[in-house]
Structure 1
Amino acid sequence: MTRAPGHGRGASAMTIDSPHYRSMRAALKVLDDTVSGKFEITADGIVHDMMAPRRPHEFTAAQVSRRLERVMPDSLVAHTGEPDVEDAPGGIMRRPDVMVISWTDMEGDGSFDPRTLVAAIEIASRSNPDNDWVGKLRDYPLIGIPVYAIFDPRTGTGAVFSDIHATPDGPRYATRKDFVYGEDVTIADWTISTEDLPRYP
């Protein structure tokens, strides 16, 4: 994984009106078509995850999505894949592994508004878990995603973060609930099993 520098804690410094953010968005349009991997714009700049997701990662995302959709109302979907979620005024663009969002809010063109998400779920990367446990844990409350869950196939554990509140460093999650694979986990209003989720070899 490589990182191109931004403006540090840049939610205020790197906005859609800044030439820096506009140049990063333009660069990603070119890179997405020519360079493999996943690109995101964070409060620290561009993150490029060069590693293609492995089967345990994708299997976990699919299982979590399916288990959630069995218990959620039909008006919601646990979506995997594109597009990104983007808070352009804040200069952050991310792509969660699973997004709980209403069908209505999926309509239209362009990136999803992060404030329409009910929850974002990440499967921790084996090559760069700090992107999920540190970077996204910082960015998701900044852009207004109310619930963030991490499943970590490295350790067979995870955590659910909620209750955004103000801090001197900006919005952060106030509540963290840890879980171990095999236990039930509650994400927003829905409880699912974590039985039989794969671990990284």
Structure 2
Amino acid sequence: MSVMVMDAPSAWDVLDGVNLPRGYRVEITEGKIIMTPQGEYQWKVILKAAPQIEQQLAAHGEILSDVMIDFPSSQYGYAPDLAIVAPGGERNSRGRFEWHSLEAVIEVVSRSSRDNDFAKKFHLYAECGIPVYVVIDPEDGVCIVHRGPTRTGSYEDATKIPFGQDLTLPLEGREITVATDGFPKAGDLG
């Protein structure tokens, strides 16, 4: 389902008061509201990664999953699979975190989200200066860590980590390590 979004201070403003169906991921890309069911692979990866990250963050940051983030465009409203908020990150007047409070974003790719995760989100997250963008791809069994965002919408460095090896998230003044050996690859679930 997609609906055109009118120009608003936050892309999410158009959904104020809308009762959204449970079990669907809602994001706004290029002014269109996109609702997709979350896939089993995505959910299982998030379920395995989030507690590992949360435990290591302790009081030095916060982890969010599928939570609305305000970006500097009324055409884009993303709710990353996982987002790490920097220590001291503050909510805006809408009660949401903004892009500049994020230290890292992790997206788990599904067949329906490949274009968004590998192109549109990659470009927007880099333009916004999000320091670390990780794409986890259950189909290929790999995590791609992007670092060094540029204002032209790309990242200077990309490192591929196959499932089974530890995924290291280089955050400001610390690192988070995520064991990937329990991440399901496409075809593993029966």
TM category (shorter chain) comes to 0.7 to 0.9
Which residue of the partner structure matches residue 29 of structure 1? 16
Determine the C-alpha separation between the residues in 1 that align with 2:14 and 2:106: 26
Could you tell me how far 1:185 is from its partner in structure 2? 1.5
**Cα distance, 1:33–1:179 mapped onto 2, change above 3 Å:** same
RMSD, aligned α-carbons: 2.7
- The residue type equivalent to 2:76 in the other structure is I
Alignment of 1:118 onto 2:100: no
Alignment of 1:182 onto 2:154: no
CA deviations on 1:117-140 (whole Å, 9 max, x unpaired) are 110001112323111111111111
What is the TM-score normalised by the length of structure 2?
0.79
Determine the C-alpha separation between the residues in 1 that align with 2:35 and 2:106: 17
Structure 2: any 5+ residue segments left out of the alignment? none
Contact 1:66 1:78 in 2 (8 A): no
**Cα distance, 1:106–1:55 mapped onto 2, change above 3 Å:** farther
Q: How does 1:42-61 map to 2 (within 5 A)?
A: 42=29, 44-50=30-36, 52-61=37-46
- The residue type equivalent to 1:112 in the other structure is F
Contact 1:39 1:46 in 2 (8 A): no
Could you tell me how far 1:58 is from its partner in structure 2? 1.1
Could you tell me how far 1:49 is from its partner in structure 2? 3.4
Contact 2:12 2:70 in 1 (8 A): no
Percent same amino acid at aligned positions? Answer: 22
Determine the C-alpha separation between the residues in 2 that align with 1:181 and 1:158: 7
**1:92 aligned residue (46, 59, 76):** 76
Which residue of the partner structure matches residue 117 of structure 2? 132
**How many residue pairs are counted as aligned between the two chains?**
180
Which residue of the partner structure matches residue 180 of structure 2? 194
